[in-house]
Structure 1
Amino acid sequence: MAHLLGAEALHLEYPTKVVFDRVSLGVDEGDRIGIVGRNGDGKSSLLAMLAGRREPDAGRVTFRGGVTVGVLDQADTLDDALTVGQAVVGTRDEHEWAGDARAREVIAGLVADLDWNGPVAGLSGGQRRRVALATLLIGDWDVLALDEPTNHLDVEAIAWLAGHLKKRWAATAGALLVVTHDRWFLDEVCTATWEVHDRIVEPFEGGYAAYILQRVERDRQAAVIEQRRQNLARKELAWLRRGAPARTSKPKFRIDAANELIADVPEIRDRVQLQSLAVSRLGKDVVDLLDAGVAYGEKQVLRGVEWRIAPGERTGILGVNGAGKSTLLGLVAGSVAPTSGRVKHGKTVKVATLTQRMDELDPHLDEPVRVVVGRLRTTYTFGAGSKATELTPGQLLERMGFSSAQLSTPVKDLSGGQQRRLQLLLILLDQPNVLILDEPTNDLDTDMLAAIEDLLDSWPGTLLVVSHDRYFMERVTDQQYAVLDGHLRHLPGGIDEYLRLRAAAPARTVDAAPAASAAATTPVLAGAERRAAEKELTALDRRLEKLTARIDADRVALADHDQSDYVGLGERMREIGELEAERDTLELRWLELGEQLEA
């Protein structure tokens, strides 16, 4: 494959730190490279040097003659004086860009739901990011250099971007360099991974799953002393191999080697013990939303929501911006009152919310980290039963990536990621039994995300997560729901089902043709077929109602069971799991029939 660009003996340093020392790299046609590493180790600086945006202190970057490089920065550089259309296509005439298949695809995929003639100044952060991406992607580039392209994007837009990049070039053409903390995106798009650490760039074959395996093997062979980091990576690999084996199908390593490495790694969560402890802490009742609805004036945001949240439930909530996710979580937390129906909170419920605003840190901005945590509990218990571990706040800080030197740093001088981790720590030390996480992955690198996931694995409470980070949501939750058209809808098929439902909606289509095409895939029922479908749908409604009532009753019965009888608890949980699997199957059929009857 032809060479596109190369770096020779790159050296970069700041007044107090050497970032790179004699780094040499090459990028060839067909390369799809993900760049990972801890925050502050130089990922963005490396990308800027390779893209020609930044000069190294020593060494050089060379480009093959005629090579074009398109760059997406983290910074928002859109001109507020432009309309959306002007920002995306510039001064090109409509017949010119409308006749370009790539331009049509990009516009349909990213900005079709925006007002083409509306001002850029009025867009939200996510909308501005989509406009910036569209502006870049309609161009013809040999190399794309993307710095955190998924920032501010929702799950739907991230999935579209991944699909576009996978088919943008032929397999042996073009090149992609991407800095991102989105591990699903790395696995979906990249065929190679560069880890930036300790002044070097270390290459690995394959996407994120392959990188994790090779990093574990590297650490094992070198007998490194970073035992904590290795254990986190091995635990994450165990989840990747057991929970989503398709993720590791691309790399060219032996699968039996991966299985050997994780042979002694237990399941990431002991669900029976965590469920038992959650029941004992929360009792039979957590939060019940009973035909709940919320309206703001004439706008109905939520309607007819039925949701009985169980002790120890770990649920992800999906939905586009403005769908009502925050309102739903407000009902659970008690900060939003229903305008119809009712919300019932258990007597022992203590809800805590990790918000995007980090308000919890405001009173402590001028205080050193050591002083802040010194006021808190002396110990904190993680896990359940024989696996319970007591940690001091200092040990928790170390577990979440704080060095001893950083304990003397005022909170206001911490990085965004450090403040985010401290915020979560303060909330956990307050001992809630229902935890709501609203976009918890902001400003965190992949290693810190793994550390927080490990912490949540042993947290014995009810967990509700809103996140655009697909990997994180699939990793820490056991089921997903979506807020669609004001209703709460269970997703037996997970995030893939959500994306299918959204793709069938007309929200992001340029004209009626795509919607008509999607509708054509759903069979139209008439006559006897329609009556039979309606009859089956009614029967499914009754069966689902009975199943849900039985599952709820069985979960309540767990509270009365001997909590030391792990065998009995395990059998009860297995029976509940079988009932839930049956309910998921019936719900899928219910969804199919509903779509056919609506067609």
Structure 2
Amino acid sequence: MAHLLGAEALHLQFPTKVVFDSVSLGVNEGDRIGIVGRNGDGKSSLLAMLAGRLQPDSGRVTVRGGVTIGVLDQADTLDDTDTVGHAVVGDAPEHQWAGDPRIRDVISGLLTDLPWDAVLGTLSGGQRRRVALARLLAGDDDVLALDEPTNHLDVEAITWLAGHLRRRWATSAGGLLVVTHDRWFLDEVCTLTWEVHDQVVEPFEGGYAAYVLQRVERDRQAAATEARRQNLARKELAWLRRGAPARTSKPKFRIDAANALIADVPEIRDSVSLRSLAVSRLGKDVIDVVDVSVSYGEHQVLRDVEWRLAPGERTGVLGVNGSGKSTLLGLLQGTVAPSTGRVKRGKTVKVTALSQRLDELEDHLDDPVRVVVSRLRTSYTFGTGSKAQELTPGQLLERLGFASEQLSTPVKDLSGGQKRRLQLLLVLLDQPNVLILDEPTNDLDTDMLAAMEDLLDSWPGTLVVVSHDRYFLERVTDQQHAILDGRLRHLPGGVEEYLRLRREGHGSSTASSRAAASTHEDDGSRPTAAMTGGERRAAQKELASLERRISRLTQEIDTARARLAEHDQSDYVGLAERSQHIEGLVDQVTELEERWYSLGETVE
């Protein structure tokens, strides 16, 4: 593969911190690289240096002659006086851009609901983000460097973007660098992962799931100080393998290797114990929403909603922007009154919401973190049954990634991710029994998301989550609902069922829904229709057969390699024949694994 760009001995230092020290790496044609790491470790700085936006203190970045790099910054750089159309296609005549299939795809995927002549200064932050992304994707750059591209996008738009990036170049052409905390997106798009940590960049093969598998193995061999981080990663791997087996089955990794790593990992959540404890805290009645409609003037947002929240229920809510999700959450909190129908709450119900804004911190901005925490309860019960343990607020802060020196930092000086974590701590220490999370993943890196998920796994109450982060939503909830055409609908098939319903025209017609439809129509790797019962049974039978064949061949490979090691090392002909035999077996396993991976996606 041809080289696109590279970095040699990069060193970057800020006044109080060395960010990178002698980092060398390269990007080749066909690379699709996801960049992960803790907030503040330098992900955006690395992207900026590779794109030529930030100069290193020493070292250099080289770009092959003629290669162009397109960049999507987190910052809004659009001109308020510009229009949507001019920002995206510039002065190009209509017949030129309208005849370009790529530009048409971008417009239908991101901008259909925006007037072409709308002035950018009148748009919301999310709309401006889509315009900036559309402007970049309408170009023809050889390398795209995207910093948090899924911010402000809903589930459908994220699905469209993943499909667009998969189709944008031929397999061995173009280059992609993407910084994102959206783990589903990383798995859909990326074939390589770079982890930024401790002044270095460590490469891994595969997307997020493959990265977790490799990181677990790395952490198993690390010092005892890495034990806690290892356990979190192993727990996440267990969910990945048990909840969606195909995700970790990249051809280079053995199925039995993943199973061996998680053999002693218990189920992610002890649902029975959590539900029992929730009933003891809440009683049998939580919140009943009975035949409720909500209107604002002549505009009806929700109609005939029937929803009875149960003790310990963990539900995700999906819907396009403006569909009524915030109104529904307001009904649960009691901040929105129904126009018709009634909302009944149990006597012991205590509802607390983690809002998109940081309202819980407004009264504490000038106080150090330790002072804020000292005003709250002195302990928090973590876990259930015999595994329950009492944690102090300080121990909880440590779980959420706060270093001891950060406890003296005023709240107003914390980063966005740190404020988000402190906000969650304040909510948990308030000990609610009904918890509402409204877009809780904003500003959090993948490690902190895993830590938040770990805390929520042992939280004994009723949980309602609204999030465009598909991975997080599926990870912390057991079922999903969607608001479609003002009605609340249960989704037995989860997010995939929601996307199918949107493609079929349910809910308000938006650009994202049509874009998501085109994504699935064009992506031949995904099923276009639900499987019949007979087809599903046949597929499951073939999966079982494939697993047996892979296991048998893997054992045969191990035996052959052992015999090769014992063979006369001076017998070059015999060694070559045995090596060729082993390579043939490995090729067979690779083909079977690829079939297993493809088939596994159809029966998820």
Q: Same fold (TM over 0.5)?
A: yes
What's the counterpart of residue 432 of structure 1?
432
1:421 & 1:510 partners in 2: Cα distance? 32
Deviations 1:486-539 (A, max 9, x none): 110111111111112222334228999x99x99xxx99xxxxxxxxxxxxxxxx
1:509 & 1:473 partners in 2: Cα distance? 19
Matched, 1:267 2:270: no
Matched, 1:100 2:110: no
2:168 & 2:218 partners in 1: Cα distance? 33
Q: What letter is aligned with 1:508?
A: A
Matched, 1:158 2:158: yes
2:387 & 2:134 partners in 1: Cα distance? 49
Is the CA contact (8 Å cut-off) linking 1:51 and 1:69 kept in structure 2?
yes
Q: After superposition, where does 1:252-291 map in structure 2 within 5 Å? A: 252-291=252-291
Deviation at 1:350, TM superposition (A): 0.2
Is the CA contact (8 Å cut-off) linking 1:205 and 1:251 kept in structure 2?
no
1:301 & 1:441 partners in 2: Cα distance? 26
Q: What letter is aligned with 2:296?
A: Y
What's the counterpart of residue 457 of structure 1?
457
What's the counterpart of residue 347 of structure 2?
347
For structure 2, list consecutive stretches of 5 or more residues without a partner in the other structure: 522-527, 530-604
What's the counterpart of residue 143 of structure 1?
143
Query: Residues 209 and 499 of structure 1: is their aligned pair in 2 closer, same or farther, counting only changes over 3 Å?
Result: same
2:511 aligned to which of 505, 508, 518: 508
Report SS of the residue matched to 2:26. Answer: strand
Is the CA contact (8 Å cut-off) linking 1:287 and 1:308 kept in structure 2?
yes
Is the CA contact (8 Å cut-off) linking 1:108 and 1:510 kept in structure 2?
no
Identity of aligned residues (%): 80
Q: What letter is aligned with 1:502?
A: R
Is the CA contact (8 Å cut-off) linking 1:9 and 1:58 kept in structure 2?
yes
Is the CA contact (8 Å cut-off) linking 2:437 and 2:466 kept in structure 1?
yes
What's the counterpart of residue 206 of structure 2?
206
Q: Which moved more, 1:497-506 or 1:305-314?
A: 497-506
Deviations 1:345-388 (A, max 9, x none): 01110000001111111111111111111111111112221121
Deviation at 1:26, TM superposition (A): 0.7
What's the counterpart of residue 79 of structure 1?
79
Q: After superposition, where does 1:119-268 map in structure 2 within 5 Å? A: 119-250=119-250, 252-268=252-268
2:83 & 2:63 partners in 1: Cα distance? 34
2:94 & 2:500 partners in 1: Cα distance? 31
Query: Residues 211 and 224 of structure 1: is their aligned pair in 2 closer, same or farther, counting only changes over 3 Å?
Result: farther
Matched, 1:111 2:111: yes
Is the CA contact (8 Å cut-off) linking 2:145 and 2:178 kept in structure 1?
yes
Matched, 1:368 2:371: no
Deviation at 1:172, TM superposition (A): 0.5
For structure 1, list consecutive stretches of 5 or more residues without a partner in the other structure: 524-599
Q: After superposition, where does 1:183-582 map in structure 2 within 5 Å? A: 183-250=183-250, 252-505=252-505, 506-508=509-511
Is the CA contact (8 Å cut-off) linking 1:206 and 1:251 kept in structure 2?
no
Deviations 1:203-255 (A, max 9, x none): 00000011111111011123342211111000000000100112112351112
Report SS of the residue matched to 1:153. Answer: coil
Q: What letter is aligned with 2:87?
A: A
Report SS of the residue matched to 1:226. Answer: helix
Aligned residues: 519
Deviations 1:278-337 (A, max 9, x none): 011000100000000111111101000000000000000111111100000100111111
Report SS of the residue matched to 2:117. Answer: coil
Report SS of the residue matched to 2:464. Answer: strand
Q: What letter is aligned with 1:390?
A: E
Is the CA contact (8 Å cut-off) linking 2:313 and 2:462 kept in structure 1?
yes
Q: Which moved more, 1:222-231 or 1:205-214?
A: 222-231
Deviation at 1:11, TM superposition (A): 0.7
Deviation at 1:65, TM superposition (A): 1.0
Query: Residues 242 and 257 of structure 1: is their aligned pair in 2 closer, same or farther, counting only changes over 3 Å?
Result: same
TM-score normalised by length of structure 2? 0.84
What's the counterpart of residue 42 of structure 2?
42
Is the CA contact (8 Å cut-off) linking 1:210 and 1:251 kept in structure 2?
no
Deviation at 1:272, TM superposition (A): 0.3
Deviations 1:395-418 (A, max 9, x none): 111111111111111111111111
Is the CA contact (8 Å cut-off) linking 1:194 and 1:201 kept in structure 2?
yes
Q: After superposition, where does 1:47-58 map in structure 2 within 5 Å? A: 47-58=47-58
2:128 & 2:503 partners in 1: Cα distance? 21
Deviations 1:173-208 (A, max 9, x none): 001000111111001100000000111000000000
TM-score normalised by length of structure 1? 0.85
